[in-house]
């Protein structure tokens, strides 16, 4: 191995140790933190499929390490919630956070025994597939969205089959819920976290897989949280006082003199720009839910409409509580939804999110926590191993893991 490869591996070792101490400090047992570090290395440096066996072989870990990695994920009782909160704080300490957002993740599966697996429609392809469905919470910073929390959708028999639930070790409190309930659960967790997680607006797409957009926005309002939510044209709002009129955002924006037009310039190929037309409702609206009031005061919102450049696509609509911010800033926040979808694609491609081999509810959450940590490390610390050729990356990773396990004297570690 070249001296350059050794020095890079040593640099990786210092960076990853700093990261592990920051994120996995809630794991009180030293051997759990060592297994977390080994699993993190495996996700970052193992080419191809990232199973415990392949990660142990790629890192030249001691005999029995594959079993230890498997145990750490599937059998160990460590709590993932405090680790995820620490991950969120670590990300915020490195990058200014500007939004919270939520995105779906479908994980194709064979058979019917993996926790949460069910036949669902993949809206990206229009096909029905056998899969797990995760709902992820992402922290938007700069040009990236970092996953910091996950929920697993439990529908079908996973909600009522007691035998299946016991086998998968699903807690009694985990039941089938609509997507909106997951979003509000994330919001509750963020606002209740101590030390505090970043305060930032919530950016949501409530046009797909969400049958209670009003309830979600009302729930955010009750917590005093600002939001930018994309909604369907049929989203109901209230206009006027003291006797409010019920209408939809689509109908509202078609009324005479209701719209204030804006032209925003956007990059266009090749090397030019194009104008995007955005209309803002000249008044304010309220939500139809009583729960939208906070401290007895009914909050008001703005409605934005974006028309497609060629008129070939339906208009898009947003409801936002950010009354004082300009149109450009509100739509810049809205774009974090697309960034989150890009992150989901990256997780599927290079971080082992599809490679979890266990069947239990805790195992799934442990694995998704490690995947989220690997993504954060790669993009916060630059992860030099990520940009080298595969052979050099693997060589440096092996040198580091072998040295680490020798330094710690780790042998026969329990999970």
pLDDT of residue 1: 32
pLDDT of residue 260: 85
Report whether 117 contacts 60 (CB < 8 A): no
Q: Is 295 within a domain?
A: yes
Is the confidence at residue 390, as pLDDT, over 80?
A: no
Q: With pLDDT > 90 as the criterion, what percentage of the chain qualifies?
A: 56
Cα–Cα distance, 344 to 130 (Å, whole number): 18
95 pLDDT band (50/70/90 cuts)? very high
pLDDT of residue 140: 96
Lowest-pLDDT range of 213-217, 280-284, 292-296 = 292-296
pLDDT of residue 36: 95
Q: Is 309 within a domain?
A: yes
pLDDT of residue 62: 72
Is the confidence at residue 232, as pLDDT, over 80?
A: yes
Residue with tokens 């051997």: 31
pLDDT of residue 383: 52
Is the confidence at residue 412, as pLDDT, over 60?
A: no
pLDDT, tens digit (0-9, with 9 covering 90-100), for 104-162: 999 999 888 899 999 988 877 888 999 999 999 999 998 899 999 999 999 989 999 99
pLDDT of residue 271: 66
pLDDT of residue 405: 43
Q: With pLDDT > 70 as the criterion, what percentage of the chain qualifies?
A: 84
290 pLDDT band (50/70/90 cuts)? low
**How many domains, in total, are found in the chain?**
1
pLDDT, tens digit (0-9, with 9 covering 90-100), for 180-230: 999 999 999 999 998 889 999 999 999 977 778 999 999 999 999 999 999
Q: Regarding predicted confidence, which is higher, 73 or 410?
A: 73
Averaged over 220-242, what is the pLDDT?
Answer: 92
Is the confidence at residue 277, as pLDDT, over 90?
A: no
Q: Is 358 within a domain?
A: no
pLDDT of residue 149: 98
Lowest-pLDDT range of 19-23, 286-290, 301-305, 374-378 = 286-290
Averaged over 354-382, what is the pLDDT?
Answer: 93
pLDDT of residue 7: 40
Please provide the average confidence, as pLDDT, over all residues in the chain. Answer: 84
Q: Is 329 within a domain?
A: no
pLDDT of residue 269: 65
Cα–Cα distance, 366 to 144 (Å, whole number): 23
Domain that holds residue 273: 225-320
pLDDT of residue 414: 37
Q: Is 302 within a domain?
A: yes
Averaged over 301-317, what is the pLDDT?
Answer: 85
Q: Is 241 within a domain?
A: yes
Q: Is 350 within a domain?
A: no
pLDDT of residue 313: 81
pLDDT of residue 144: 92
Averaged over 407-414, what is the pLDDT?
Answer: 39
pLDDT of residue 258: 84
Is the confidence at residue 43, as pLDDT, over 80?
A: yes
Q: Is 314 within a domain?
A: yes
């Amino acid at each position: 191995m070249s001296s350059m490869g050794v020095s890079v591996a040593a640099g990786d070792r210092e960076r990853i140790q700093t990261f592990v101490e920051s994120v996995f400090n809630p794991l009180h047992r030293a051997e759990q933190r060592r297994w977390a570090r080994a699993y993190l290395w495996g996700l970052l440096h193992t080419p191809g499929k990232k199973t415990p066996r392949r990660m142990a072989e790629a890192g030249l870990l001691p005999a029995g390490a594959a079993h230890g990695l498997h145990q750490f994920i599937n059998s160990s009782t460590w709590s993932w919630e405090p680790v995820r909160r620490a991950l969120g704080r670590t990300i915020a300490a490195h990058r200014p956070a500007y939004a919270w957002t939520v995105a779906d993740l479908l994980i194709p599966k064979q058979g019917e025994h993996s926790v949460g697996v069910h036949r669902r429609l993949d809206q990206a392809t229009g096909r029905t597939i056998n899969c797990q469905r995760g709902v992820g919470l992402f922290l938007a910073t700069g040009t990236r969205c970092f996953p910091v929390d996950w929920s697993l959708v439990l529908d079908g028999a996973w909600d009522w089959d007691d035998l299946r639930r016991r086998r998968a070790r699903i807690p009694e409190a985990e039941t089938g819920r609509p997507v909106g309930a997951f979003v509000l659960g994330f919001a509750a967790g963020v606002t209740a976290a101590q030390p505090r997680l970043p305060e930032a607006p919530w950016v949501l797409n409530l046009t797909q897989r969400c049958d209670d957009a009003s309830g979600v926005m009302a729930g955010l309002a009750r917590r005093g949280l600002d939001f930018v939510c994309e909604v369907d044209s049929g989203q109901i709002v209230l206009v006027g006082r003291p006797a409010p009129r019920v209408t939809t955002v689509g109908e509202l924006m078609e009324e005479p003199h209701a719209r204030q037009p804006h032209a925003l310039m956007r990059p266009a190929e090749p090397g030019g720009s194009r104008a995007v037309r955005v209309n803002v409702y000249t008044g304010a609206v309220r939500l139809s839910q009583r729960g939208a009031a906070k401290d007895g005061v009914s909050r008001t919102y703005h409605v934005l409409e974006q028309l497609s450049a060629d008129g070939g696509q339906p208009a898009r609509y947003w409801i936002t509580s950010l009354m004082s911010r300009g149109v450009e800033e509100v739509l810049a926040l809205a774009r974090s939804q697309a960034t989150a979808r890009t992150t989901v694609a990256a997780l599927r491609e290079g971080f082992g999110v599809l490679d979890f081999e266990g069947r239990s509810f805790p195992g799934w959450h442990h694995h998704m926590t490690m995947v989220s940590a690997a993504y954060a490390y790669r993009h916060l610390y630059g992860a030099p191993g990520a940009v080298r050729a595969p052979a050099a990356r693997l060589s440096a990773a092996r040198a580091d893991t072998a040295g680490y396990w020798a330094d710690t004297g780790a042998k026969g570690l329990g999970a």
